[in-house]
Amino acid sequence: MSNKFNIFYGEHQSQFGVLRLPESSDPCPVIVLIHGGFWQSKYNLEENTPIAEDLTRRGYATWNIEYRRIGEELEGWNSIFNDVIDAINHLSIIKESYHIDLSNVTVIGHSAGGHLALWIASRINASKNDGVFHELSIPIKKVLSLAGVTDLQNMWEIHEQKGIKSPVAALLGEAPHEYPKRYKMSSPIELLPFEVDQVLIHGELDRHVPVELSKNYYQSALEKGDKVKLVVLPDIEHFKVIDPTSSAWGIVVESILANVVQIVEKKSKL
């Protein structure tokens, strides 16, 4: 059994999270969950309910966050990003009431949520005075990107090639050539290195977010000296990585606890 609480971190109907607590007398490590759906309002945090329940049964406090999305009233292009920061920062306000351990916070994001999770990592050592985004005040130990959108410009280009009206353009206001600075400020691959442990888990059969995005990001992060791990899963599609009944989910759970080490590939001499 777990205790479940709906807690608002802002005044908008989408500025809330669902906190689940395991039955424990000790302060619990926290896992922040960020759902996907290409940042669109027709998708919501219920996508992450099964994995939130699973992780809470395993002894974690889970903070499954909602945020304002495309199709809802936004104050500006940066609203979605600031909502995610505010939702995570709100943990410091509720930590005493709910007995949670903020020295051990992991962020897990799926798809567009993977993009936001990696972007959050970029804010850990970011300037406090950029004037665009709120300051992140909670330390993050690890980020897991599950089929994450690691490169916004590349994702936009893939949609263009397929003749799809890209949600990336809706997120940032227009195409990359219209707002190049926005893309650079909000695309994880442009912001490396982060100096925080990162794990990328991606299925080879993903038709929504191609696995190449995670592979390219991994190489870039390695080259810049980040601690990053890439797990490519054969025969796994986009949604299996957030299905607690799938084999992929076991890999995710193992990755929460496993240390991330920087791997330097050495070519053997012939």
- Residue boundaries of the structural domains of the chain: 2-257
- Is residue 265 over pLDDT 60? no
pLDDT digits (tens, 9 = 90+) for 13-69: 999 999 999 987 788 899 999 999 999 999 999 999 999 999 999 999 999 999 999
- Tokens (6 digits) for 189: 């691959």
Which amino acid is present at 240?
A: K
Measure the CA–CA gap between 7 and 62, rounded to whole angstroms: 12
pLDDT digits (tens, 9 = 90+) for 77-104: 999 999 999 999 999 999 989 989 999 8
State the average pLDDT over residues 196-209. 95
In our burial notation (b when 16+ CB lie closer than 10 A, e otherwise), range 108-127 reads: bbbbbbbbbbbbbbbbeeee
For residue 266, what pLDDT band results from cuts at 50, 70 and 90?
very low
State the average pLDDT over residues 116-140. 86
pLDDT for 129 = 58
pLDDT for 261 = 54
268 CB neighbour count, 10 Å cutoff: 4
What CATH number was assigned to the domain covering residues 2-257?
3.40.50.1820
pLDDT digits (tens, 9 = 90+) for 140-154: 999 999 999 999 999
State the average pLDDT over residues 226-231. 94
**């054969």: which residue's tokens?**
234
